[in-house]
Amino acid sequence: MLTIYGYPNSRSTRVVWALEEVGTEYEYVYVNLMAGAGRQPDYLALNTGGKVPTLVDGALILTESGAICTYIGDCFPASGLTPPVGTQNRAYYNQWCYFTLSELEQPLWTIGKHSFALPEKQRVPAVLDTARWEFAVAAKVLATGLGQREFIVGDGFTAADILVAHTLAWAQAFKLPLEHDNLMAYAARLLARPARARAQAREQAKSGAKS
């Protein structure tokens, strides 16, 4: 059985969402990051960065949400979460996954780091306006790439949609306007998926039981 180490409303939500989409059983282990659990030796032995998510599948230990979501899709090909390797859609899938993690998410993480995540003395409030501008630039690229299609790759829902939609949810949480009608409709449509609601409920239930 797959085991996921996570924390609510973090990147681990993406992975739990993917698992709920494929409909497999899994174990969820709550890592109380706010209490320092990510820096304990037993967890650092799994994830040297002390972050979530971490996936354990037998001898395999995998970190990075994009890599884990792709692994889940490849393990459950009937789900359609990842297009077949060697196809044009797989190339586009990789493109949008990498774009999301390197361009769309990074300004938001900069905002998060310099608002609450970093020690106060390491924060640089002056960078926030630049990060907001960077997100707007990346969002325009995404809006153009999406056009009027329902999903970001091909004609079906993939793990790339999970990465994109979850990142747009972060933007909304940070009160950043999406500014493009197609992105707003896309985000509303994807974030309303039942599997996402189940993922959030699973993480919240585990954190509530151990907080």
**Could you read off the pLDDT tens digit of each residue along the chain, which spans 211 residues?**
999 999 999 999 999 999 999 999 999 999 999 999 999 999 999 999 999 999 999 999 999 999 999 999 999 999 999 999 999 999 999 999 999 999 999 999 999 999 999 999 999 999 999 999 999 999 999 999 999 999 999 999 999 999 999 999 999 999 999 999 999 999 999 999 999 999 999 999 978 755 3
The per-residue pLDDT for 207 is 80
The per-residue pLDDT for 39 is 96
Ordered structural domains, the chain, with CATH: 2-81+195-210 (3.40.30.10), 88-193 (1.20.1050.10)
Biggest alpha carbon distance in the chain?
49
The per-residue pLDDT for 49 is 97
Q: How many whole angstroms separate alpha carbon 63 and alpha carbon 200? A: 20
pTM: 0.96
The per-residue pLDDT for 211 is 39
Q: How many whole angstroms separate alpha carbon 175 and alpha carbon 201? A: 23
Q: Long-range contacts of range 54-58, CB-CB < 8 Å, 24 or more positions apart? A: 54/4, 54/5, 55/2, 55/3, 55/4, 55/5, 55/15, 56/2, 56/3, 56/5, 57/2, 57/3
* 33: nearest Cα among 47, 18, 19: 47
The per-residue pLDDT for 140 is 98
The per-residue pLDDT for 70 is 98
